[in-house]
């Protein structure tokens, strides 16, 4: 086949390309330039650029080096404006509204895969391959493409792919879906790839130090939008008693315990962020638990929107163990999810994904009830 390969500059995408090349496919490599490092927003206290191991210029060079070593053409897609509009700005607005977003989901499906898929079709490619740990199968009985977790559940990345449409899944190809990480590194070593021992990035690519609120402050300052920065406000109990003050709601997230600055007999946690009142609401551990929530932007992958309640194992964040729940489809691509047992810190802005065993039933975005 002729396959468009996403090249991030990491070991996973490099190994995927090496594997496909060994299988005899015709490859075209693409790397996406997403974040403009020259804007000097990601800097330390001395004004020096913060190091990044994802989507940096070094990653572009590494990807090009792998493509040249394996002997296939390589192109760089400049998506900086799209990335800022579709990923960075929604990330900032989500934090400013009192949510805790996960931009990597939207970036993977709406920007990276969608952009590469369009480019692949223009070049008459049969498939779009990435280094994701996930699997796609075609079911002739239902005439539907099915998305599954990677065999290695700890590395599984189906969580980032639930927004893919049936049309996109028909062209998606995940060569690493059956593998574990060490097998992938062995492929890279066997192909003498420069990236074989490269470490993984653990943070959001445009916030390499993981300090999200500081990034938002720097970004708004850089864009002359300091008037949008949240002001100080009250920290209140679930009973409405004022317990202290906060320095801006974008510095807090549901489930947070540290940094509240409140002395209390029992530990207190952020249980809700109220943007309209500019309040951080705190409570004890049991007040973090809830049995249901609402999701928007729901995409049903395994089947069309069900007319009856559907049973599934549901995740409410990437490292959450899926828990049994009933999903009630609602109008306007929404759904109400009711767990069998209470779950901790269900957080607006995060993605939720529904599983039937290893199969992805669908997913959506958690919103405030």
Cα 278-281-284 angle, rounded to 5 deg: 170
Distance between CA atoms of residues 29 and 8, nearest Å: 10
Beta carbons within 8 Å of 132's beta carbon, 6+ residues apart: 12, 108, 150, 157, 158, 160, 161, 174, 176, 177
Angle between helices 11-22 and 181-190 (to 10 degrees): 60
Q: Is 182 exposed, middle or buried (0-12, 13-18, 19+ CB in 10 A)?
A: exposed
205 is an active site residue: yes
* Cβ atoms 344, 289 nearer than 8 A: yes
**162 burial level (CB within 10 Å; 0-12, 13-18, 19+):** buried
Closest C-alpha among 173, 117, 135, 162 to residue 364: 162
d(CA 290, CA 83): 34
For residues 82 and 86, give the distance between their C-alpha atoms in angstroms, rounded to a whole number.
6
- Which of these is catalytic: 54, 104, 107, 125? 107
Q: Which of 55, 104, 125, 205 is catalytic?
A: 205
Q: State the pairing for strand pair 233-237/279-283.
A: parallel
Q: Which residues contact 75 (CB under 8 A, 6 or more apart)?
A: 28, 29, 30, 31
Which amino acids are annotated catalytic?
Answer: 107, 205
């Amino acid at each position: 086949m002729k396959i468009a390969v996403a090249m991030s500059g990491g070991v996973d995408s490099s190994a995927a390309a090496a594997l496909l090349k060994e299988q005899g496919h015709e490859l075209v490599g693409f790397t996406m330039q997403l974040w403009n490092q020259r804007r000097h927003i990601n800097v330390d206290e001395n004004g020096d650029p913060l190091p990044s191991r994802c989507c940096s210029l070094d990653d572009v060079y590494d990807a090009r080096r792998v493509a040249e070593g394996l002997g296939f053409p390589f192109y760089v897609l400049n998506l900086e404006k799209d990335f800022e509009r579709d990923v960075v700005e929604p990330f900032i607005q989500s934090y400013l509204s009192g949510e805790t977003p996960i931009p990597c989901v939207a970036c993977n499906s709406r920007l990276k895969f969608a952009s590469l898929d369009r480019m692949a079709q223009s070049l008459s490619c049969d498939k779009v391959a990435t280094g994701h740990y996930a699997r796609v199968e075609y079911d002739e009985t239902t005439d539907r493409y099915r998305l599954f977790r990677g065999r290695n559940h700890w590395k599984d990345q189906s969580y980032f792919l639930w927004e893919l449409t049936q049309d996109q899944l028909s062209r998606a190809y995940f060569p690493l879906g059956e593998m574990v990480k060490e097998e992938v590194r062995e492929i890279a070593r066997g192909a003498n790839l420069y990236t074989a021992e490269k470490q993984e990035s653990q943070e959001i690519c445009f916030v390499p130090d993981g300090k999200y609120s500081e990034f938002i402050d720097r970004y708004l300052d850089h864009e002359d939008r300091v008037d949008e920065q949240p002001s100080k406000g009250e920290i209140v109990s679930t009973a409405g008693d004022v317990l202290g003050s906060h320095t801006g709601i974008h510095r807090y997230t549901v489930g947070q315990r540290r940094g509240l600055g409140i002395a209390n007999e029992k530990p207190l946690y952020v249980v809700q962020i109220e943007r309209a009142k500019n309040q951080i609401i705190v409570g004890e551990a049991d007040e973090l638990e809830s049995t249901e929530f609402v999701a928007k932007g729901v995409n049903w992958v395994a089947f069309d929107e069900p007319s009856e309640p559907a049973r599934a194992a549901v995740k409410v964040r990437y490292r959450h163990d899926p828990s049994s729940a009933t999903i009630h489809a609602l109008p306007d691509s929404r759904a109400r999810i009711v767990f069998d047992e209470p779950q901790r810190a269900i957080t607006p802005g995060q993605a939720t994904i529904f599983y039937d065993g290893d199969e992805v039933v669908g997913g959506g975005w958690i919103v405030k009830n």
